[in-house]
């Protein structure tokens, strides 16, 4: 079936080649080609998925070690002395910032959250 696809030499042309194929044979060739391409793409997807899982398991084991060593934050009430309700003490800002940092450290170990400056409005 596939032997005479590229037979275009002058000797074979005198014998009736290249042979013209019908619609069913062309459809079969197209179907075979589609299946081969589909299987190739599925194979590549499986390879990428497997490599991703391997990398995530290696990185996941490192992050579990880091999160187990994190410091537990205890919630202590902050005593404000003669401050108006609109002002926030430095201790409160520090506690809120530490809580946000601890949350981001647990959810996203590679967090780029840093406090650069605190301004009063």
Neighbour tally for 49: CB within 10 Å:
10
Q: Is the peptide bond before 18 cis (omega within 30 degrees of 0)?
A: yes
Report the pLDDT value the prediction gives residue 15, as an integer from 0 to 100. Answer: 72
d(CA 121, CA 119): 6
In the predicted model, residues of the chain with pLDDT beneath 70 are 1-10, 12-13, 16-19, 61-86, 108-116, 118, 120-121
pTM metric for this prediction:
0.40
């Amino acid at each position: 079936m596939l032997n005479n696809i590229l037979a275009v030499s002058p000797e074979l042309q005198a014998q009736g080649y290249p042979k013209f194929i019908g619609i069913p044979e062309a459809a079969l060739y197209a179907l075979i080609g589609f299946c081969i391409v589909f299987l190739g793409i599925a194979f590549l997807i499986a390879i990428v998925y497997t490599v991703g899982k391997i990398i995530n398991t290696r990185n996941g084991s490192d992050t579990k070690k880091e999160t187990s060593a994190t410091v537990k934050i205890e919630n202590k009430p902050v005593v404000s002395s003669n401050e108006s309700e609109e002002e926030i003490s430095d201790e409160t800002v520090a506690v809120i910032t530490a809580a946000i940092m601890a949350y981001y450290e647990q959810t996203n170990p590679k967090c780029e959250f840093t406090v650069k400056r605190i301004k009063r409005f």
